[in-house]
Structure 1
């Protein structure tokens, strides 16, 4: 991969850090740095992960808490059944969601992406910690043993299978699973095919594609920039201040961190 030369200044504003000048990918090896914000994100991620995985299997009053039954054209939300003729309610909810999103992004920036987005929650709080636990963090000396890589992918397969179960249950319900784990493929062949496609997509996304989902695929990540203004809180790299590499002397007036939370 083509990196910048020692005499060449990196272009932070027009070139992504995960892409070189030829447009080829630079693999992001993120460190897990524990601090106040990481602890807060972890505390929030636990109930979010439980919610994302369990909500398709939760029943309220004998009806699913959340299910999109395409075959019978019914939508379940909090145990209430909505029919196609109830589309007006969803239009109102969608408008409220759009206005709320605009206000939230304008005030707090990319708070959804960093704290609530299912992709980011599972990547940073599940898959990446598993990878660090088995393979070690960035800068780990020596070549990774093959058995460690195989073990990591085995764990990834198990996690992706569980997430595919939750995703499939949203459309066909919890009754299609034996003990909420094994899909009844004989009774639901089309759902089994959907499960297989979803499983492959999840494994590919969290195992390899990762951050490119946010920068290339996700439409929200693209248009939310238009909702930022000069008062939006932004986590950014201050190129003028920079970050001194290596150990700092006590008299060094520059901050050691390359990031700051500031109003743009």
Structure 2
């Protein structure tokens, strides 16, 4: 017998599962607008910076190289050793203060604009899913109707695209620890020469694919401590966007009587 949901279930049941613990799959609509375009532009800059970082050199040295076997870090052409840990501590303290100030002023700006999980999920993986399987309504209908040839082909195309992006991300992250010289032809890791790096590559690629292809928004609601901590850093003056169901979709500027009604409300 199915359990009846109650209005206060959100206090004890995760939004991503139903009252019986089954996954509630989200079919996210593609919403346009000026702020969406601005977020996309910021995402392009961030993703481009991440992908280019292993290939950039400063003074003949990598812009960033985390050399764990040699216990040294190369940042912007400067080498830091374990005894220079105080600089990392100062950087972390500055980042914590800056994060708290940002949350107090502009709310969840980091989550929406800068978080790597959100940037890659919303600007890379979800768009690829829409290209392969169609908009949210069509994806939901196909999943509810069951398997057919078209659905299987679309799913296969999506997973191939996901795998390709995941390989690129895993290569980039691994290169930050090994240098680009560890990759043959620039994209194939030399497993024989770097067995430990190969293990890291496999674990990282598996975690990325699992996260962006299946776990998705649950990372924010279950795993990420920052998402929970933000509530303690908000104050009455923080910028918190809210949804007005009386306006509905699509969003836009209110005019005439609608604007007057909104102001009075």
On whether the aligned pair clears a TM of 0.5, the verdict is yes
Whether the 8 Å contact between 1:205 and 1:213 is mirrored in structure 2 is yes
Q: Tell me the SS of whatever aligns to 1:81.
A: strand
Computed over aligned residues only, the root mean square deviation of the Cα atoms, in angstroms, reads 2.8
Alignment of 1:40-119 (within 5 A): 40-119=38-117
**Which whole-Å deviations, capped at 9, do the CAs of 1:12-32 have from their partners, x for residues lacking one?**
677654333344431111111
> How far apart are the structure 1 equivalents of 2:18 and 2:241?
22
Deviation at 1:93, TM superposition (A): 1.2
Matches within 5 A, 1:195-210: 195-210=201-216
**What are the ranges of 5 or more consecutive residues in structure 1 without an aligned counterpart?**
256-264
Correspondence 1:190 to 2:188: no
The offset of 1:109, in angstroms, is: 0.8
For the Cα contact (< 8 Å) 1:4–1:10, is it kept in 2?
Answer: no
Q: 1:59: Cα distance to partner?
A: 1.4
User: TM-score, normalised to structure 1's length?
Assistant: 0.84
**Counterpart in the other structure of 1:178:** 184
Q: Structure 2 unaligned runs (5+)?
A: 250-254, 261-265
Hey, what's the Cα distance between the residues in 2 that align with 1:47 and 1:106? 25
Structure 1 distance, partners of 2:228, 2:67, is 30
Q: How many residues align?
A: 247
The answer to which structure, 1 or 2, has the higher relative contact order (CA under 8 A, 6+ apart) is 2
Counterpart in the other structure of 2:229: 223
Query: In proportion to residue count, which structure has more helix?
Result: 2
Q: Calculate the TM-score normalised by the size of structure 2.
A: 0.84
Compute the displacement of 1:176 (Å).
0.5
